[in-house]
Structure 1
Amino acid sequence: MSFLMTFCTFVVKALCLPLHVLDAAGLYKLYKRVVPFFLYRLSKLYNKKMHERKKELFASLSEFKQPGEQLTILEVGCGTGSNFHFYPAGCKVICTDHNAHFEKYLQRNMRENPHVTYEKFAEASAEDLRSFQDACVDVVVCTLVLCSVDNVPQTLREVRRVLRPGGAFFFLEHVAADPTTWTYFFQHVLKPLCYYIGDGCQVTRATWTHLEAAGFSDLKLRHMKAPLIFFNKPHIMGYGVK
Structure 2
Amino acid sequence: MALTVSIVQLAISVIAFPIFLLHFLGLWDRTCKKLFPYFMEQVTKSYNREMSAKKQELFSNLQDFAGSSGKVTLMEIGCGTGANFKFYPPGCRITCVDPNPNFEKFLIKSIAENQHLQFERFIVAPGEDMPQIADNSMDVVVCTLVLCSVEQQEKFIKEMYRVLRPGGAFYFMEHVAAEPSSWNFFWQQALKPTWQLMFDGCDLTRETWKALERGSFSKLNLQHLQAPLSWKIIRPHIVGYATK
Fold conserved (TM > 0.5)? yes
1:32 alignment counterpart: 33
- Supply the distance in 2 between the matched residues of 1:221 and 1:199 (Cα, whole angstroms): 26
Q: 1:7 matched to which residue of 2?
A: 7
Which residue matches 1:53?
54
CA distance in 1, matches of 2:61, 2:14: 45
CA distance in 2 between partners of 1:22 and 1:149 (Å): 22
Query: Take 2:80 and 2:190, find their aligned partners in 1: how far apart are those partners?
Result: 26
Is residue 86 from structure 1 mapped to residue 77 from structure 2 by the alignment? no
What residue identity is the alignment partner of 1:11? A
SS at 1:237's partner residue? strand
Structure 1 outlier segments of 4+, above 3 Å: none
Preserved CA contact (<8 Å) 1:76 1:97: yes
What SS is found at the alignment partner of 1:61? helix
3-state DSSP of counterpart to 1:56 = helix
The answer to whether the aligner puts 1:233 opposite 2:235 as a matched pair is: yes
* TM-score with structure 2 setting the length: 0.96
- Once the two structures are TM-superposed, the CA of residue 69 in structure 1 deviates from its matched residue by 4.0
Q: Counterpart of 2:46 in structure 1: which amino acid?
A: L
TM-score, reference length from structure 1: 0.97
Q: Which amino acid aligns with 2:173?
A: L
The alpha-carbon deviation at position 130 of structure 1 amounts to 1.0
**Mapped contact 1:12–1:192 kept (Cα < 8 A):** no
Gaps of 5+ in 2: none
Q: Please provide the CA RMSD for this pair.
A: 1.1
> How many angstroms does 1:26 deviate by?
1.9
Q: CA deviation at 1:230?
A: 1.5
How many residues are matched?
A: 242
CA distance in 2, matches of 1:158, 1:81: 21
Query: Percent sequence identity over matched residues?
Result: 44
Q: Which residue of 1 aligns with 2:218?
A: 217
Match of 2:64 in 1: 63
Letter in 2 for 1:16: A
Alignment of 1:113-192 (within 5 A): 113-192=114-193
Q: Give 1:70 shift.
A: 2.3
